[in-house]
């Protein structure tokens, strides 16, 4: 169990130290969240500077997502075995060093390799954070407040990445979207060493199922690879790779059922709350991640905004998310319960996506983008802390690190799925309209309308699933 200071009573110093530790954990998480989105607005500059082709440019994103999503579960379990603090600090070091390599990259190969290393460090850091948070705040009310802070940083960081990407690229150059991680990483690493108390973990001799780790990591990496690259391959190739991923997952499950010391205790999925929350998260994050990318493209390609103006247009999102999560989320959950707050948040997300699906070619930011942006932000600010609390409440203390890794994994898989599916829908619709003589801007807008409509359907699925799977059971 992680603790910050070893005192027998709850003194003011202990309380201060635990919240200081939360700040350190949030700082490490913020870097990985920012890098998931900060590159989107800078893509044209990266392509021009390093000479990427269209398909090759996608690997600036894919090279990060694949190891990040594929290694989260393994990193979460290893955190339980070697100590979560060791895994967290090692991940910070790897991520910071890789960020510097990205920032000084002068060629395509170097940037892609450094982005992959960033994904490894991001997985090491992110996989253990929720487990450490649960251990730091065992009391339900304080845990709800801590999760609200953590969720606010993560959610706001995703939207803030779009603004910083545009601002840094336009004011300096694209290299600084990575170099900005250096001071943050150094401060977070030094603070983590000083603030977080050391822990030994269970030891690698207990539960280190390396064959199982190879199977699940390969399966997750291949799954993410299939999702993020589905639009660039022949359908037969995508089908073959998808079947290969299913085969690896099947082999992993059989291995875990028979191994004396499995990597993933299958009993974890016996928790209705944990399984249901992860399934809901896949759908919810698929909607939100697709909106972040396609919404930015709509603002640029349809409304004609530049890099900095695009980033500024999305700035209300992190402000609204941060204010609501920090000021209202924990109290609202405490009063109405996580289940009701989750359903209300998902309903707002559905409404926001439905409004976006009507955004026209001759639209405006104030009338067609800002209202749904605020609805989505408020909905996500309500839903995410509630969903996180439900998921982690369904895990035993000894499984906290693994549950954290699983929860973060479903975030990445959901985001990749949403981005791939909605992007393909938008592109195919636009291309079809262009072939029939529709003007470029009108065809592009209709493509995004279709994608946002599909996102609305996915959000409805998340709402229905949450209502059914996470409904509190009556006693008696």
Residues 36, 62 contacting (CB under 8 angstroms): no
What is the rounded distance in angstroms from the CA atom of residue 367 to the CA atom of residue 303? 12
CB atoms closer than 10 angstroms to residue 246: 13
Q: How far apart are CA 154 and CA 157, in angstroms?
A: 5
Range in 5-9, 59-63, 101-105, 307-311 with the lowest mean pLDDT: 5-9
* Residues making up the chain, counted from first to last: 476
Q: Report whether pLDDT(465) > 70.
A: yes
393/387 Cα distance (integer angstroms): 10
Write the secondary structure of 393-444 as one string of H (helix), E (strand) and C (coil).
HCCCHHHHHHHHHHHHHHHHHHHHHHHHHHHHHHHHHHHHHHHCCCCHHHHH
SS3 assignment for 255-307: HHHHCCCCCCCHHHHHCHHHHHHHHHHHHHHHHHHHHHHHHHHHHHHCCCCCH
Q: What is the pLDDT of residue 382?
A: 87
Residue pair 181/57 in contact by the 8 Å Cβ criterion: no
Q: Which of 405, 389, 411 is nearest to 91 (CA)?
A: 405
Average pLDDT over residues 270-299: 86
pLDDT interval class at 375 (50, 70, 90): very high
Q: What spatial distance separates the first Cα and last Cα of the chain, rounded to whole Å?
A: 34
CB atoms within 10 A of CB 110: 14
| Exposed / middle / buried, residue 96 (Cβ in 10 Å: 0-12, 13-18, 19+) | buried
Cα-only R_g, the chain: 21
Average of per-residue pLDDT across 223-245 = 75
Confidence (pTM): 0.74
pLDDT digits (tens, 9 = 90+) for 178-226: 888 888 888 888 888 888 767 766 666 565 677 877 787 788 778 767 7
Tokens 């500024």 identify what position? 312
Tell me what pLDDT residue 207 has: 58
User: Helices 400-435 & 59-82, crossing angle to 10 degrees?
Assistant: 170
């Amino acid at each position: 169990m992680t603790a910050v200071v070893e005192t027998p009573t709850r003194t003011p110093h202990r309380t201060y130290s635990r919240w200081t530790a939360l700040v350190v954990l949030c700082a490490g998480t913020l870097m990985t969240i920012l890098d998931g989105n900060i590159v989107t607005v800078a893509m044209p500059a990266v392509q021009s500077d390093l000479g990427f082709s269209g398909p090759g440019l996608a690997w600036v994103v894919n090279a990060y997502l694949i190891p990040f999503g594929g290694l989260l579960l393994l990193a979460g379990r290893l955190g339980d075995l070697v100590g979560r603090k060791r895994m967290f600090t090692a991940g910070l070091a790897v991520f910071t060093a890789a960020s510097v390599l990205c920032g000084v990259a002068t060629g395509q190969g170097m940037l892609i390799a450094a982005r992959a290393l960033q994904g490894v460090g991001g997985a090491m850091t992110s996989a253990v954070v929720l487990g450490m948070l649960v251990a730091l705040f065992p009391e339900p009310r304080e845990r709800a407040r801590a999760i609200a802070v953590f969720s606010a940083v993560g959610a706001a960081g995703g939207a803030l990445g779009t603004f910083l990407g545009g601002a840094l690229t336009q004011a300096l150059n694209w290299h600084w979207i990575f170099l900005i991680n250096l001071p943050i990483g150094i401060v977070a690493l030094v603070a983590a060493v000083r603030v977080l108390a050391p822990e030994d973990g269970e030891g690698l001799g207990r539960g280190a199922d390396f064959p199982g780790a190879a199977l699940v990591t390969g399966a997750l990496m291949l799954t993410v690879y299939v999702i993020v690259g589905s639009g660039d391959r022949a359908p037969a190739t995508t089908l073959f790779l998808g079947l290969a991923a299913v085969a690896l997952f099947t082999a992993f499950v059989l291995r875990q059922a028979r191994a004396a010391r499995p990597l993933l205790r299958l009993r974890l999925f016996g928790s209705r709350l944990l399984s249901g929350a992860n399934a809901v998260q896949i759908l919810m994050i698929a909607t939100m991640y697709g909106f972040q990318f396609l919404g930015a493209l709509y603002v640029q390609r349809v409304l004609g905004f530049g890099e900095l103006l695009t980033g500024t247009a999305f700035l209300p999102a992190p402000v609204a998310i941060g204010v609501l999560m920090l000021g209202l989320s924990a109290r609202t959950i405490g009063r109405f319960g996580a289940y009701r707050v989750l359903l209300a948040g998902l309903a707002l997300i559905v409404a926001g996506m439905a409004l976006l699906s009507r955004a026209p070619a001759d639209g405006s930011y104030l009338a067609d983008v800002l209202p749904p942006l605020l609805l989505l932000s408020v909905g996500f600010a309500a839903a995410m802390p509630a969903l996180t609390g439900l998921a982690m409440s369904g895990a035993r203390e000894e499984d906290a690190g693994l549950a954290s890794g699983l929860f973060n994994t479903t975030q990445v898989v959901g985001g990749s799925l949403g981005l791939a599916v909605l992007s393909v829908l938008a592109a195919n619709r636009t291309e079809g309209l262009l072939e029939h003589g529709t003007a470029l801007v009108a065809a592009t807008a209709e493509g995004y309308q279709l994608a946002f409509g599909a996102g609305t359907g996915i959000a409805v699925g998340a709402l229905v699933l949450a209502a059914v799977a996470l409904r509190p059971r009556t006693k008696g």
